[in-house]
Every structure is written in structure tokens, then in C-alpha cells.
Amino acid sequence: MKRLRNLIDKSYTALAACSFFILVLPLLHIIGSIIINGLKRFDLELITSPPKSLLSAGGGILHAIVGTAMVVFVAMIISLPIGFLTGIYLAEFARGKLAQIIRALITTIAGIPSIIVGVFAYTIIVVVYGFSVLAGGFALGFISIPYVVRSTEEALKAVPIEIKEAGFSLGIPRWKVILFIDVGYAKSRIIAGFLLALARVIGETAPLIVTILGGINIPSGLFSPANAIPLVIYQYALSPFKAWHDIAWSAALLLLIIALVMNLGVRYYLKIKAIYY
């Protein structure tokens, strides 16, 4: 009996270890390939110059870096206020039917495949203004709304009841308690949520294909077409040129580093903030 239990114990441990490796090995493989292949063209030119021309090998991805920055900026302008206010509403006011509807809506948005959001942006923005930073920003903004809503809501719900009561006991109106006491208290977690939402959409590719078009120019404004780091990876990886493959790998490495820095940065930020709470 005991031996059987031992055996079950051991095989269970072995199984767990196996599934861990099945999970981790491909991840290590991906990260390893990105680092090894990405280092070849991971130079200053990559981040300081746009492509030389449509068909020649040299140059970098400055156009895509600027494009990503602009698209993500527009996305955040759209999703931060909407997501933040919705998060406040759900955490502080939500009762009854309307709250249920909003919650269901947010869950639904979170479940929409990003390409569909891209097509949606295409039909309402690209059709009118053409392929543009605005269209891409709209798509990514839309996609990031649920993340902002949830992180804001969770951060506010974590505010201790004593803090809220202490706020109210100063004889100030509810909206001021929420905005200056609750949000103030929760602000580092809310900001962390914003950054993670941003990190989440920075690598989105599919919705950008149908909204910003790509190309080799540095976007000049809200209504000009643009490229983006993930889109460059996609386009260059599909090209027949070795030199472009190398740039795609390097762009992937850059994206990986950005995501890593943001995630670790948020963790570190929360850790130093946590000392006081």
C-alpha cells in the first residue's frame, strides 16, 4: 500500500516536472532564438534610422519605433480616461442592472479577437480618414480598455474601508473622497495597471495590418499612415530577403526588451511603493 502511494507520489511529481518542461522549453527556445538571431543587427542604426528604400537592405526601424510610440500614445489617450472612469464607476457606484450590463460589455470586449477590432476600426476610421495613426490608435485603445477598467476597479476595491471612512469623516463629498482619497491611495496600482495595459497592446499586430498599413516613412501626424514594431517584424519576416529577416529578429528582440523592461519596471515600482502601505 505504502509503496503504491509512493509510486503515485513520484509519478505525479515526474508528471508535473514534465509538463513544466513542455511549457518552458518552447519558451526558452523562442527567447533563445530571438536573442541569438536578434543580436546580429541589434545596433545603433536599427533604432536611429528608417529603412534606406523600399527594396534595399540597409537602414533601421526608426519609422516603426516612432509609429509604435504614436499609435500607443493615441491608444492610451482613448483608453485611459474611458477605462479609468469606467473602473471607478464599477468599483464605487456599480449596483444593479446597468453595472451588470457594463461588466458584460467589458468581458465581451476583452474576448473579441483583435483582428475583428482592427476591421471595426477600418470600417469606421480608415474608410473616412485612410490608413492612419488614428485608426491604429483607436484599435489598440479599444483593445486595452478592459485591462484599464479591471486594473482600476481592482486597485480601488483594495482600498481599506478605514481609509474610505476616514475620508468621509472629514465631511467631504463622496466624489472628492473617491478622487482624492481612494484614487490617491490606489494610485500606484492604477498606474501599474495602465503600464501593463500598454505593455499588453504594444505587441499587437493583427489590428495594425488593417489600420496603419505599414510602409517606410516616419509618420508625420495623426492622419498619416505609419508602421509599428510588430508590423515590421511581420512584414520583414515574410519577405524573401535575408537582410530583412535579420532586422525582423532584431525588432523582435527590441520588442521583447521593451515588454520585459515594462513588466519588471512595474513590479519594481509596486515593490518600492508597497513599503508604505
Partner 1 sequence: MFGIKIETKDLSVWYKDKQILKEIFLSIPEKQITAIMGPSGCGKTTLLKALNRLLDIHEGYKVSGEVLLDGNNVYDPKVNPMEIRARIGMVFQKPSPFPHLSIYDNVVVGLKLRGITDKKYLDDVVKEVLNKVGLWDEVKDRLESSAAKLSGGQQQRLCIARALALNPEVLLLDEPTSALDPISAAKIESLLLDLKKEYTIIIVTHNIQQAARISDYAAFLYMGQLIEFGKTQEIFTNPKNELTEKYVEGRM
Smallest separation (angstroms) from partner 1 to the CB of 72: 27
How far apart CA 115 and CA 93 sit, in angstroms, is: 33
Smallest separation (angstroms) from partner 1 to the CB of 274: 11
Stretch of 27-35, 49-57, 83-91, 158-166 contacting partner 1, by CB under 8 A: 158-166
The answer to whether 187 contacts partner 1 (rule: CB under 8 A) is yes
- By C-beta, is 174 or 267 nearer to partner 1? 174
- By C-beta, is 191 or 262 nearer to partner 1? 191
Single out the residue of 29, 52, 174, 267 in contact with partner 1 (rule: CB under 8 A): 174
The answer to whether 93 contacts partner 1 (rule: CB under 8 A) is no
Residue appearing with cell numbers 485591462: 147
The answer to whether 111 contacts partner 1 (rule: CB under 8 A) is no
- Hey, which residues between 237 and 276 contact partner 1 (CB under 8 A)? 276
DSSP string, the chain: -HHHHHHHHHHHHHHHHHHHHHHHHHHHHHHHHHHHHHGGG-SHHHHH--BSSSS-S-B--HHHHHHHHHHHHHHHHHHHHHHHHHHHIIIII--HHHHHHHHHHHHHHHHS-HHHHHHHHIIIIIHHH-S-HHHHHHHHHHHHHHHHHHHHHHHHHTS-HHHHHHHHTTT--HHHIIIIIIHHHHHHHHHHHHHHHHHHHHT--HHHHTTTB--SSPP-STTS-B--HHHHHHHHHTSS-HHHHHHHHHHHHHHHHHHHHHHHHHHHHHHHHHTT-
Stretch of 33-41, 161-169, 215-223, 242-250 contacting partner 1, by CB under 8 A: 161-169
Single out the residue of 1, 5, 27, 171 in contact with partner 1 (rule: CB under 8 A): 171
Single out the residue of 14, 28, 166, 264 in contact with partner 1 (rule: CB under 8 A): 166
The answer to whether 117 contacts partner 1 (rule: CB under 8 A) is no
Single out the residue of 172, 238, 261, 264 in contact with partner 1 (rule: CB under 8 A): 172
Single out the residue of 164, 194, 202, 215 in contact with partner 1 (rule: CB under 8 A): 164
CA angle 146, 73, 238 (to 5 degrees): 90
267, three cell numbers = 513590479
- By C-beta, is 26 or 184 nearer to partner 1? 184
Single out the residue of 113, 184, 221, 265 in contact with partner 1 (rule: CB under 8 A): 184
Single out the residue of 165, 238, 260, 268 in contact with partner 1 (rule: CB under 8 A): 165
Residues lying near partner 1 in the complex (CB under 8 A): 160, 162-174, 176, 180-181, 184-185, 187, 276-277
